[in-house]
Structure 1
Amino acid sequence: MKRVGLFLLCILGVIRLNAQVTPYHYTIRAELSAQLIYCLAQDSYGRLLIGTDEGLYRYNGFKSKHLIASGNSSKEITQLLAYEDSFLATNGSGQLLQLKGDKLKVINLPGFRGDIRQLSIVNKELVITGSKYITVFSLPDFKWVNQEIIPYTEPESTIANHVLRYGESRMAVLNSGELVNIDEGESRNIPNATGKILVTFGKQLVIIPSFLAEDPVYTYNDGLFRSWGTLLNKGNLRVNNAKVVGNQLFVLSENGVFVYSNKISKKPAHWFRGIATTDIFKDKSGNMWIATKGKGLLFIPSGQHEIIYDGTLLSIVPGPKGTFFGGTLNGSIVQFDRRGRELNSYTSRINNQEAVFMAYDLYSNQLFSNIGLFAVGNEKAVNRTNEALKGVARLADGSVYLAKSTGVVYIPKSTKKTPLFGLTDSTKLQLLRSEPAKGIALNQQSQEVAFSTVKGVFRRIGNEPYQEITLNGKSIDAQAITWFKNDLIIATAQHELLLVHNGRVLKRKDLSLNSGELFVLKMIATEEYVYLLTEKGMHRFNDLDKNIEGLKELTGLEGLVMRDFAVVKDELFIVTQRGVLLLTWKQSETMNYSLVLSEITGRKYDHYAYKDDRIQFPFDEKLIVIPFECVDLSGNRQFIIRYAIHTKRERGYWNALPASAEQLNLSHLNPGNYTVEFYLYDPVSQTKSPIQRKQFTVLYEWHNRPYLWWFIGVLVAFFVGLTWRWSLRRERKKCVVVNGK
């Protein structure tokens, strides 16, 4: 029996491993779904540069912009290399191009011969590695420095597939199956194999083969080769690329991605089977991007993500012994463990509603739901009901509060050993409120109960009469309620969070500030945080006086729908349309989005004059345009653009634009100097990006320019004074003549 148990445990471990080899990811088309993507990079603004068979594109998280090249003989962009504030690129014809701003131009290389396979910058010099030559050019003038032949290459047949610096030496792998030390001029034959790519991984030189099932992967160290087997046993498809990112080696092929973690092994993980992949890139936020042939971009959000259950659920609640209950669309409830194995199923025969509410009661080992009450371990409903349950609170003495569609009831502890009654008619229950209930929450320390209905929020301690909690003498319309550190937290329909202590509202936080409506769908409090599920994603806080933290790595990503969630210690279990997602909330406070301001333009002329770094617009310019670009590769898009227009005499008001906006149009401005300020604002966490400014001047009409009239006034005064002086001198002369006579 022990052997059988051990065998089953091993089988389950293998199933578990195979089920989780591909990480949680999205497919982002970026308007390039039909194109072959060769390479990826990221510019200083956070935008993704994508080299494809149709040219170079720049993706900001909203849309892609095609950057047209001039002077190129091939539109393919096969490599990208960052150089200062620009990028160097190569195309399918072996030309070198440089990207500055939006302009992609061909760079002429005097004295260069051969092809371009690799680009690198060493000691402020550009090193171009081809199939036979290594050529060096000075930067930034691209002047020829020197060129050397790769040893053991031949004019007609033998070429270098890849060159890599390994330790103090440069190594090359040839298509003849040789590993060459370029600096020493030495060659070694790779045992029965032909390598394609060289990488340094785990302090070893790794030789990646050209095909998945033809040649093995080799490591080379201290003059010795070691075989690690082929990547696949069959299906001899081509290897496209290999890169080391962090502590992982990624081999990209026509049949997915093979992943080695920390060290080389004989059984790497195999991601994205059947998808042709070409490149992998890790952006500044830690997200992974995988380029494909005709399948767009595979986006792996940063952090630890795992799908533990791939069924379609609407709700989730923790159960006994590390299990979970999930409500389904067909009105049943499934119980599953962290491995995704279904353990039991609960169905009410007379109620086929969707299972949207559940609460596990440890006291009685029963599961409350809107489709019935179930004894855990028994799939039959103990007490079926057509009433929609909205909340359950079990007190320490065994009594129960129920929030139902017909009101709020209190059921004293039953002395009977039979299952709990009172979900329907009962002489034992006490009806506290008769209007439809919304929710209920219990303070485990004080045993104080709070419940909300369509008419307000109420609190009760023991058998005392319940009291209503009001705000400025008015009833509170609550979306959700929960207890946090002996304080009641209320999310209102007016998009506010209220902190209530001893029945009094002590703190308020506006969630709709500059963001419109923000509905809180559910709240759960732990010892450290209050977690909120809203229509805009997951958020949490532990102090209403501080900013609310948003789960940026999942919010709004490519159509992700978050339906419900549960919290166990510091782990989140989120119900999505893709299954139950497990993650640990650990993320940085840095903003993952940015704003790029472009040059101000007008509509009347192609070019405008500048004075003191201000663009000068004529008085009759009808439209002034300030183009900008929001960058958010993660797809959160929970921010807004705020701007204000200031003059020398007056500070303007802050206005808002949606994240999808592309420009600010200004018209009918009075003459004068203007400063327009911009920043991105997250209305939930209330964080913002640094303020950026654009300045311009609207000129006066020629006859209304103050300097013109000042000059005319001075000129008139000068002539008046001159005339007066001339007249005065003339009068003096007359007086002299008269006196002389």
Structure 2
Amino acid sequence: MRYILWSCVLLLGKLYAQSDLLYQNYTVENGLESNTIFDLFQDQRGYIYIAHDKGINTFNGLAFGKLSSEIESKTQSNITPFYDGELISRNFQGDSYIIRNDSLISFTPEITETLSYPTYDTDEGVVYMAQHNGFYYFNDARKPVRFEKEDFPQINKIWSYVVHKKIAYIVASIQNKNSLLAIDLATQKTLSSYNLPANLQVRFYKTHESVFWVNFDTGQVGYYTGEFVPLANLFQKDLTPKTKFTHLYTLKDGRHLVATFNGLFLFNTRWELEHHYLEGVSCSVIYEDMEGSLWIGTLQNGLYYIPSLQFNIINASSLPGTNVKFSTFKKFDSFLYAGTYDGKILQFTSKGNLQRVYDLKQNAEIQSFLITDEEIVLFCGALFIIDKKTGVEKKRVTTNATKSIYEEDGIMYLGTSSGLKIIEQNKQAGYLSSYWITEAFPIHRDRVIAQTTNGVILYHPNKNELTLVNKEGTHLCKYGDTFFFRERQALWKVTMEGTVEKVKEFSEKLVLLQSDEKGVYGLFDTQKMSIVYPVEVPLSFEADGSWLKEMKFMTSLEEGFCYANNSNLVISTQLTPAKTITPWLSTVKMEGTYTVSDTTYYLPYANNSMQLTLDLLPNYRDLGKGSVLYKIAPIEKEWVLATKKNHYQIDLIRLPPGTYTLFVKGTTSNGSTTLTKEYHIIVASPFYFQWWFLGLLLLFIILLMYVILRWRTHRMTRKNKAAFEKQQLTLKALNAELNAIRAQMNPHFIFNSLSAIQAQILNDDKLKAFENLSTFAVLLRQALQFTSEEFLTLAQELSFIRNYVALEQQRTERSFTYIETIDPTLDTHRLKIPSLLL
């Protein structure tokens, strides 16, 4: 499906046509700092470096960039790969620079020569330098080492050189004579030399396989095959000795481009001049990128980008001897055939070169024609059969205007203005009258499907029966064994069995339908062209709408695609075989509130942000029409289109806490996709979900529980202690009470009192015994009662003492005297004292 890709880039952006060459011109108006270009180079990322009189710009296909530098670096040139992905360059004042991470850094090689300026080249990973009469290579320590063995020639001045396959090709002055030298750098021996006349400007140019030398004064070009062999003289046609040469470049297909102060001159492999491009433009340098596209630096007009995909626009009026328009088209084998309104059939190659003209000498329209291996059958006022090889007329038949000619299995089907004619073995085998037939195809041998002005019909010649398939059907065409026609916005198909089926209803109206061996093509009223069957694929391009509406022919080519109207035949071809590379994404910069560990990006919870700036390389292949898509798993399931300014930008702001994977991929306009980049992102949880906070919280809870438990334990301990102390006090009080009872009712006292009462009973002193027993009972009751009381009246206390003393006197037979002295003013019944105090 390569023709899809070629048609997709037609007229993209600001493209211009000169002859059959399309290009894009970049100048200071597009962001380039200068229009005076000295050198070009493409790095591994696909960036184009443009050295000019004001420094160095980079170009990624979308915008021009500038190298960061703290030094002034004008008139840059000679950009060469250095070591570790770096580049080296120099200016015309003799200063050298290293290009590292898009920064320009001053670099001073340690050499003794100070005359002239250095020039650099690289071969098989080794970097070489020449300055004045010294020739060097850089060692692993990035130090220049001079070639100065005895066998190395004693050079007075090196004018130019290249290194190819470890052989140095040098234009040098030796003993005041100019020579071409081929030196084996391994042995430092001279392999060959070639003396030059004095004051001639000669330079070497290395190609993919060979080394050429060009004498800019004589136009002589040659190459090295063990010795210096002249090949040809370039001074041809517009290329004269007055034209100043600046550069020679050999394309990957073997053709040669010569840059001059009068444009580009393209030579074939035999050094025959084929084209002159960019006439009047002072070209300074030619560079072929990884895609096979060309970049042309100029001294006044900036930068020209010539895509490897080219479009040859052939205008009918510009063809030799033809001043009219195209009428009809056919493709046969690898050739295109176009009929004209003045009786000619033009044969073109698949690249648009006019191969042959069949001239019927009839000033009439070629309305239809059929190409076979040996003959061309056509209608131009009459039906002609001409010999394809010689172009000689073999037969002419007068008939009605024939709009279509089709042949299958020796049977010819002619669609005419009066009906359908079926010819077999030069005899009419069938005829359908009263219809204007514009296309007819057989379905088996018993039916014919035909396009008429009244729709699509099925005709049965043997039965002479007619069936209307679709009265609004138009543009009948054949793909494989299936027939297709359009009805307004619908595509219909008819099988060999005669089954009619609607294939698809489109949102736009089909205005043209055609087919070839690769598919069915449709043109819509919205100026969109697509493959509509078997797989729908858009063939989008930007063009003039009126031109599209007039389109009448579409077909694929071996190396491209072709479409045409009455005035123009457009053929897409490949300027030079492209070294197709898979596009890839380059991260220009990353910004945000993140930290990186290994391949994981860590973002904080609060105000987290991450901005990615990306390049889709090489962008110039798409002229900036590529896309960068991204999605964030597991949040998004569909791809989102990245913002495109000078670069592609993705902004991630305030992502919720969690673990994410950012997927990023790039797609070009031709459908190529980059490898998907993955960015692993972890957004931190808020502090109250952090492990340290949860740990502290857990520790705090444990501490709080410990404090609460300690407090409760302490409280319970204190409570229990208070209860215990209270219990002890109660116990002590009881003990004190008992002790008081014991103290007041001493057992000896009780025993002695009872013994005295017993003695009185035995002595039959019943009255005293009864009195003493009554006193003892009262005393005992008072002891029990008063001990539990905290306070007693003085009268109660005195009553207790009197009873006690009375029993003691009775027991001791009044052996002691007892006297009470009480203040008569005291109210003994109201005054209270602690119990049993007296």
TM-score w.r.t. length of structure 1: 0.67
Which residue does 2:742 correspond to in 1?
none
Match of 1:601 among 568, 585, 591: 591
Q: Gaps spanning 5+ residues in structure 2: where?
A: 1-17, 319-324, 387-392, 424-431, 729-838
Q: Does 1:465 align with 2:467?
A: yes
Shift in CA distance, 640/200, structure 1 to aligned 2, threshold 3 Å = closer
Which residue does 2:378 correspond to in 1?
365
> 2:678 is aligned with what amino acid?
R
In structure 1, C-alpha distance between the alignment counterparts of 2:580 and 2:475, rounded to whole Å: 29
Q: Does 1:103 align with 2:103?
A: yes
Which has the greater radius of gyration? Answer: 2
> 1:644 is aligned with what amino acid?
K
Aligned length: 636
Q: Does 1:655 align with 2:651?
A: no
Which residue does 1:28 correspond to in 2?
24
In structure 1, C-alpha distance between the alignment counterparts of 2:475 and 2:607, rounded to whole Å: 53
Deviations along 1:16-61, whole A, 9 cap, x unmatched?
xxxxxx9842221134577122222323343433323333233333
Match of 1:715 among 696, 699, 721: 699
- Which residues in structure 2 correspond to 1:594-673 (within 5 Å)? 594-602=584-592, 608-611=594-597, 613-617=599-603, 621=607, 625-630=611-616, 631-635=618-622, 640-647=627-634, 650-656=635-641, 662-667=648-653, 669-673=655-659
Which residue does 1:317 correspond to in 2?
329
Q: CA RMSD in A?
A: 5.6
SS in 2 for 1:27: strand
Deviations along 1:204-232, whole A, 9 cap, x unmatched?
76431233xx4633556555664744635
Deviation at 1:198, TM superposition (A): 1.9
Deviations along 1:93-127, whole A, 9 cap, x unmatched?
33333334433333343446445553234575432
Which residue does 2:87 correspond to in 1?
87
- Which residues in structure 2 correspond to 1:270-281 (within 5 Å)? 271-272=276-277, 273-281=279-287
SS in 2 for 1:94: coil
Which residue does 2:661 correspond to in 1?
675
In structure 1, C-alpha distance between the alignment counterparts of 2:474 and 2:629, rounded to whole Å: 29
Which residue does 1:485 correspond to in 2?
480
SS in 2 for 1:717: helix
In structure 1, C-alpha distance between the alignment counterparts of 2:611 and 2:442, rounded to whole Å: 56
> 2:171 is aligned with what amino acid?
V
CA contact (8 A) 1:441 1:483 kept: no
SS in 2 for 1:720: helix
Deviations along 1:420-454, whole A, 9 cap, x unmatched?
xxxxxxx963599xxxxxx9774676755376999
Deviations along 1:456-492, whole A, 9 cap, x unmatched?
x9663534422359xxxxxxx9997632111245689
In structure 2, C-alpha distance between the alignment counterparts of 1:231 and 1:656, rounded to whole Å: 53
Deviations along 1:662-692, whole A, 9 cap, x unmatched?
3234556434444332334479x76643322
> 1:87 is aligned with what amino acid?
L
Deviation at 1:281, TM superposition (A): 2.5
CA contact (8 A) 1:80 1:87 kept: yes
SS in 1 for 2:589: coil
Q: Gaps spanning 5+ residues in structure 1: where?
A: 1-21, 349-354, 368-372, 403-409, 416-426, 433-438, 470-476
Shift in CA distance, 594/309, structure 1 to aligned 2, threshold 3 Å = farther
> 2:135 is aligned with what amino acid?
I
Deviations along 1:296-340, whole A, 9 cap, x unmatched?
444444478756656487875139997844689xxx997544364
Which residue does 2:815 correspond to in 1?
none
> 1:44 is aligned with what amino acid?
Q
Shift in CA distance, 519/204, structure 1 to aligned 2, threshold 3 Å = same
Structure with the higher helix share, 1 or 2: 2
Match of 1:231 among 207, 227, 235: 235
Shift in CA distance, 224/66, structure 1 to aligned 2, threshold 3 Å = closer
Which residue does 1:255 correspond to in 2?
262
In structure 2, C-alpha distance between the alignment counterparts of 1:559 and 1:162, rounded to whole Å: 53
Which residue does 2:300 correspond to in 1?
294
Which residue does 1:689 correspond to in 2?
674
Shift in CA distance, 170/489, structure 1 to aligned 2, threshold 3 Å = same
Match of 2:710 among 726, 729, 735: 726
SS in 2 for 1:217: strand
In structure 1, C-alpha distance between the alignment counterparts of 2:476 and 2:623, rounded to whole Å: 26
CA contact (8 A) 1:72 1:95 kept: no
Which residue does 2:733 correspond to in 1?
none
Match of 2:515 among 521, 525, 531: 525
Shift in CA distance, 99/493, structure 1 to aligned 2, threshold 3 Å = farther
Among the aligned pairs, what percent are the same residue? 14
Which residue does 1:411 correspond to in 2?
419
Deviation at 1:616, TM superposition (A): 4.7
SS in 2 for 1:29: strand
In structure 1, C-alpha distance between the alignment counterparts of 2:671 and 2:225, rounded to whole Å: 53
Which residue does 2:67 correspond to in 1?
68
> 1:274 is aligned with what amino acid?
G
Q: Does 1:580 align with 2:541?
A: no
SS in 1 for 2:280: coil
Deviation at 1:173, TM superposition (A): 1.0
CA contact (8 A) 1:637 1:659 kept: no
Which residue does 1:136 correspond to in 2?
137
Shift in CA distance, 317/122, structure 1 to aligned 2, threshold 3 Å = closer
Deviations along 1:617-675, whole A, 9 cap, x unmatched?
5556487543333343333777544332223xx44323346887832345564344443
